[in-house]
Structure 1
Amino acid sequence: MSNTLSEQLQSFIEYLQIEKQYSTYTFEQYRHDIEEFYVFMKEQGLHSLKDVEYSDARLFLTVLHERKLMRASISKKISSLRSFYRFLNREEMLETNPFSFVNLPKKEKRLPRFFYEEEIQVLLEACNGESLLDLRNKALFELLYGTGIRVSECANLQMKDVDLALSTILVKGKGNKERYVPFGSFAQDALTAYINQSRPSLMKDQIHSAVFVNHRGGALTSRGIRLILNKIIENASLKGKITPHKLRHTFATHLLNNGADLRSVQELLGHADLSATQVYTHVTKDQLRKTYLAHHPRA
């Protein structure tokens, strides 16, 4: 990779870090997509970004299709390059953006998977127990299902962010945007029991303010949370997979099924765009249809 290409990429990464305040995971994904395009450029004998034309961008899209990548993956890579060129245009490093008119493949419409209320009850029963880890796992599950927060938001939750008196948590979401999220009485009871009875003993000699801790006393990571959820579904003897995001889908679906309005659910989830929340209306309509077909005598 030439010095110029390397410098242009580094300038873009610094922009994502400082101005956009993207997470390490996000800007590393951008870096990966752009470096992948640099490899393509080398194969095509293109030595600088200003040599890339619309036909080259189209050829890169064709190459991605030939690799049989998912449409969502292809769209992400093209979007990364479009944003990269847009940044270079803004900084007057380049005059054109060959990816401006490259059509992104249509997204596959997949309905979010969620648990039925009966399944949630079975999972909650699998969390019951009196050990230090049982109390932690119950609080973790109740909070994820009761607030719909992302796994990263849960892992980053600090003690000062939890207000047990008001039954709310202060969540730092994408782009460091903050929002207050309420939780109900079940999560309240589980959190109180964990914080008062379990967390101090689990902490051992560790000094930090993370709400959820592992068995060694360190802060629980996103990976650790996923492992705990897998253990819970194993104990519940339920078929299928469980992920923090599936609990987030379940949170939103159950709210809408029980009459919550879309705007409120958007605020609770921390979605910047209402369209990201609207996918759950398809889920609820699907649920209504299943209920109708199952119970109406002339269905």
Structure 2
Amino acid sequence: MWAQTLAAYERHLSAERDLTPHTIRAYLTDLRGLAEHATRLRITDPADLDLRSLRSYLAGMQTRGRARTTLARRATAVRVFGAWLVRTGRAADDPGALLASPKAHRELPAVLREDEVRALLDRTAEACADDGAVGHRDLAVLELLYATGIRVGELVGLDIDDLDEERRVVRVFGKGRKERTVPYGAPAARALTAWSEVGRPELRCDGSGPALFLGARGRRIDPRAVRTLVHRRLEAVEGAPDLGPHGLRHTAATHLLDGGADLRSVQELLGHASLATTQIYTHVSTERLRAAYRQAHPRA
């Protein structure tokens, strides 16, 4: 029963919720772990799950030293799955509705300083003469990631027509295929123009299609290649933390807030469903305020 039910749930996540392949894989990985645990408890039908079996599933992972974030994510996956079982008539009760999970620690994300971002982009631009088409692509990718704060999955899914060069905005499809429009600045616009006019034609092939960014073989670039190029380009910046594309997203959000942008606007730009998710980026502004207070106030 588990195999058939999980296959039906995968179709639901893909066809009805329109989730990304990465998100679907994450959900199914968590639920396969639950299925293995339930099978050891001789629960062969998901409809027979109860609160005790779900708690023992999470307790077993906690005993094996899994992080709080992992436990929280898997508890969420179980609750969403349980609600779907009841909604589709596959189970009479939803024990997941009563399942509590430890709150994940909200660790402050590592970010680049403004001077480190400038060094990253300047050195990538200087390397374009030697790196050719790949150099133009890397610069355009870095400029767009920092200018917009979009996710790597959103970036690799961009098509040429998603750019509105006249208004300098890009159409992005985020989680759940939610569409939003994000502006970008003049430096990113120049890098994108150079990539489109000089770099992309060199890499383009019959399989390129409408993809905005291409890999070395001319097809749509994949997230792994973007992560690799970000790490590689950051190696040229002395003292900079080793960040991936998501680190540039953190950096963009932090610099926006530090520059005076309001939290709601940053939430909209990043495509966060909850304002609480955006609030984690306020730490830099808060810390700088505290530092200024300690330095200037006689009673600090």
TM-score (norm 1): 0.92
- Distance in 1 between residues matched to 2:47 and 2:133, nearest whole Å: 60
- Distance in 2 between residues matched to 1:248 and 1:226, nearest whole Å: 12
Aligned twin of 1:219: 220
Aligned twin of 2:232: 231
Question: What are the ranges of 5 or more consecutive residues in structure 1 without an aligned counterpart?
Answer: none
Aligned twin of 1:56: 53
Aligned twin of 2:271: 270
The C-alpha deviation readout for 1:161-206, integer Å capped at 9, x for no partner, is 1111111111111111111111111111111122112211222555
Distance 1:215 1:12, change over 3 A: closer
Which one-letter code corresponds to 2:38 in the other structure? M
Question: What are the ranges of 5 or more consecutive residues in structure 2 without an aligned counterpart?
Answer: none
Distance 1:292 1:189, change over 3 A: farther
Distance 1:202 1:224, change over 3 A: same
Aligned twin of 1:17: 14
Which one-letter code corresponds to 1:81 in the other structure? V
Q: Aligned pair 1:189/2:200, yes or no?
A: no
Aligned twin of 1:296: 296
The alignment partner of 2:142 has SS state of helix
- Distance in 2 between residues matched to 1:238 and 1:126, nearest whole Å: 14
Which one-letter code corresponds to 2:14 in the other structure? Q
Aligned twin of 1:31: 28
TM-score (norm 2): 0.92
Q: Aligned pair 1:76/2:77, yes or no?
A: no
- 1:92-241 equivalent positions in 2, closer than 5 A: 92-129=89-126, 130=129, 131-203=132-204, 206-241=207-242
Greater shift, 8-17 or 111-120, is seen at 8-17
Greater shift, 125-134 or 249-258, is seen at 125-134
The C-alpha deviation readout for 1:259-290, integer Å capped at 9, x for no partner, is 11111111111112211111112332123224
Aligned twin of 1:243: 244
Distance 1:216 1:290, change over 3 A: farther
Task: Report if the CA contact (8 A) 1:111-1:283 is conserved.
Answer: no
Shift of 1:126: 1.5
Shift of 1:291: 4.5
Shift of 1:149: 0.7
Aligned twin of 2:285: 284
Shift of 1:258: 0.8
The C-alpha deviation readout for 1:117-164, integer Å capped at 9, x for no partner, is 111111112212323322222111111100111111111111111111
Q: Cα RMSD over matched residues?
A: 1.8
